[in-house]
A and B are shown apart, each in its own frame.
Chain A
Amino acid sequence: MKRWLKISLLLMPGLGLILIFIGSVVYIAIAQSFGYFNLSGESGFSLEYWAKMFDRLSYSRAIGYSLYIGVASAFLAVIFAYPLAIWLRRPFAGSLFISAVLKAPLLVHGLVVAFLYINIISYNGIVNQLLQALGIWDGPHRLQNDSGAVGVLILQTWKNMPFALLLLSGAVQAIGDDLLDAAADLGAGPFDRFRRVIAPLAVSATQAALVIVFVGALADFSFQVIAGPINKQSLSQLMVFFKGYGRWHDAAVIAVTLMGLGIAGSGVLALFSRFVLRGGRLS
């Protein structure tokens, strides 16, 4: 009994505070989405905010758009990181330098990344100048806030690829040389070695990379506000918008949506990557 008490006391300031803080944040988000904790009017259970939100076009479009950014960013980051992780698996002259440069974006703040990007693609920026100098474009083009959200995807990939690389390198490096030698000795060429040995053994790292990048990009606010399409809104953007007008219940509906999509999407991505990397088997 005494031991149990001692451990509980030790956990209180760390785990206890985390549970209270995050627990109440999530609790109040869910409660407010159902009409509780009203600051200005009557509190009480109500599905009104959900019902109204479902009718809004901006809501369903934001869901679609955020899911698109989340999924596309996750896949882009992993697709770029995978070949690099395999290439850098064994050290060679210059490999340390290359992996250091590749990981540099981890050190750069997201907002700074966004600034550097819009600086480069600006109306009279270096990309426009270069393409004009090469004679590809006649005049400068407006590239910022492109409607296809290419800018947001570039920023997400730039920022998240190093993270995926870190996770995948760890997994790929943990695969012993002997194992790959054995596969080669048994007749597996480079592609088969990837498909039948590396990919199945790096499943959990790939899942982790996909899920973490997805959750981050799904909830993206700053890249979207600075570099995203003007006619589209991400869920976070919409949520901040509602909060700005004091519409806590609407913001809460979006927050719960965001968390729900995060959990559901992570599950789907994890299962999907496992299915693909294990060569079409789930077990």
Chain B
Amino acid sequence: MKRFSLNKMLVWSLFGICVLWLVIPFTLAILWSFVDPSEPWTPDHLLPPVMSFARWEYLWEHSSLKVAMLNSYLLAPSAALLTLTLAMPTAYALGRLHFKGKEAVKLLVLLPLVVPGFVTAIFFTAILFQMGLHAWRFGAILFAHSILFLPYAIRIMSVSFEQVRQNHIDAARDLGATPFARWKVAYFPALKPGVMATLLIVFIYSIEEFAIAFIVGSPNFTTIPTLLFTNLGANFIRPNAAVISLILVVPNVVLMLFLERLLKSANPALSSGKG
């Protein structure tokens, strides 16, 4: 009885803290993004005195936001497709074949996650300079993203390949299926959630990636995160930063929630963090 009410109190206090933790910061960000340039939001007002979409319209028309969004939303799907394509053969080998050194391969695949992002970014740029390719920014960032996010893709896809059931393949063969029919009946259903999850996760990570885009892309190739960074630093205008923050965070949160569901249905171990 005593423990029960204690727990209830804990739940409610934590609930309160969590609301403060998330609701207040985001509410403030949303309010700031609606501050009309005609009158500043001074501390004596609880809400911005004049609210409008002026900041949104201004940024859309007069800043590099449009270009940044175009870059980000071109880069992300390309990186997702390229990563998936590159990951498939390795994932197949890890998921369906037995060979010596498989565990070592699984570990080595994680290398891009271990090297600090800015080290990778800077010395990837150094390589580009050495090779005289530093003008080729979009391609360079796309290439770097695809390799950087390979560990996630290989991990998810090799689990998917493991889940293809040998007896389904055997049954299909036994019933005289052609290789294509076998693929359709045995591989495709097991791989589909993994493919979706891989595309989504690389898409999100590519949109969010900052170090490579910032270092390789500087000074004139912008993505949403690099634009936000410049707006948080030298030319800090709070309402503008609020608008870009929301543009960066809202679609990704929606996609992430979608991803969480997908991973849960594809493989419970991955979403619970034990993977």
* Chain A–chain B contact at Cβ < 8 A: yes
Q: Are B228's CB and A111's CB within 8 A?
A: yes
Across-interface contacts of B195 in A (CB, < 8 A): none
- Count contacts on A: residues with CB < 8 A to the other chain: 73
Binary contact track B94-136/A, C-beta < 8 Å → 1, others 0: 0001010000010011011011111110111111011000000
Interface bits A103-117 vs B (CB < 8 Å: 1, else 0) = 010111111101111
Give the segment of B20-28, B47-55, B181-189 that binds chain A.
Answer: B20-28
- Say if the beta carbon of B89 comes within 8 Å of chain A: yes
Residues of A contacting B91 in the complex (Cβ-Cβ under 8 angstroms): 14
A85 to chain B, nearest CB (A): 11
Closest residue of A by beta carbon distance from B41: A124
A115 contacts B225, C-beta separation under 8 Å: no
A196 to chain B, nearest CB (A): 22
Q: Mark A122-148, 1 if CB is under 8 A from B, else 0.
A: 101010010000000000000000000
The interface residues of chain A, by DSSP majority, are classed as helix
A208 to B13, CA, bound (A): 30
A25 near B123 with CB under 8 A, answer: yes
Q: Are B21 and A101 in contact (CB under 8 A)?
A: yes
Chain B interface size band reads 35 or more
Does B272 count as interface, using CB distance less than 8 angstroms?
A: yes
- Given A98-B15, A101-B22, does the pair A112, B126 have CB atoms closer than 8 Å? no
Q: How far is the CA of A115 from the CA of B30 in the complex (A)?
A: 12
- Choose among A28, A116, A225, A236 the residue that contacts B233 (Cβ–Cβ < 8 A): A225
Question: Is B32 interfacial (CB 8 A cutoff)?
Answer: yes
A17-B147, A108-B249, A120-B24 are known contacts. Are A255 and B123 too (CB-CB below 8 A)? yes
CA–CA, A226 and B21, complex, Å: 20
With a cutoff of 8 Å between Cβ atoms, the chain A residues found around residue B85 in the complex are 13
Distance A108 CA – B208 CA, assembled complex (angstroms): 10
Contact bitstring B208-244, A, C-beta under 8 A = 1, else 0: 1011000100000000010011001100001001100
Q: How far is the CA of A225 from the CA of B125 in the complex (A)?
A: 21
Chain A residue at minimum C-beta to C-beta distance from B117:
A219
How long is the Cα–Cα vector from A28 to B123 in the complex, in angstroms? Answer: 7
Digitize A78-116: 1 where CB-to-B-CB distance is under 8 Å, 0 elsewhere.
000000000100001111011001101011111110111
| Chain A residues in 8 Å Cβ range of B111 | 18-19, 22
Decide: B130 and A37 in contact? CB cutoff 8 A: yes
Scoring A residues 36 to 72 as 1 if CB is less than 8 Å from chain B, else 0, what string do you get?
0101000000000000000000000000000000000
Can you report 8 residue pairs joining A to B where beta carbons are below 8 Å apart? A12-B89, A14-B91, A22-B115, A101-B21, A116-B25, A129-B43, A215-B114, A219-B119
Q: Which 6 A-B pairs have CB atoms at the shortest separation, nearest pair first?
A: A14-B90, A219-B116, A116-B25, A166-B273, A101-B18, A10-B93
Interface residues of A (CB under 8 A from B): 3, 7, 9-15, 17-19, 21-22, 24-26, 28-29, 32, 37, 39, 87, 92-95, 97-98, 101-102, 104, 106-112, 114-120, 122, 124, 126, 129, 166-167, 169-170, 174, 215, 218-219, 221-222, 225-226, 236, 239-240, 243, 248, 251-252, 255, 258-259, 262
Task: Beyond the given A10-B92, A15-B108, A219-B116, please list 15 additional residue pairs across the A-B interface where CB-CB is below 8 A.
Answer: A3-B99, A21-B112, A21-B144, A37-B130, A109-B208, A111-B245, A115-B29, A116-B28, A119-B25, A119-B242, A120-B28, A219-B117, A222-B229, A252-B126, A259-B119
User: What residues of chain B have their CB less than 8 Å away from a CB belonging to chain A?
Assistant: 7, 10-11, 14-15, 18, 21-22, 24-26, 28-29, 32, 42-43, 85-93, 97, 99, 105, 108-109, 111-112, 114-120, 122-127, 129-130, 144, 147, 150-151, 154, 208, 210-211, 215, 225, 228-229, 232-233, 238, 241-242, 245, 248-249, 252-253, 256-257, 272-274
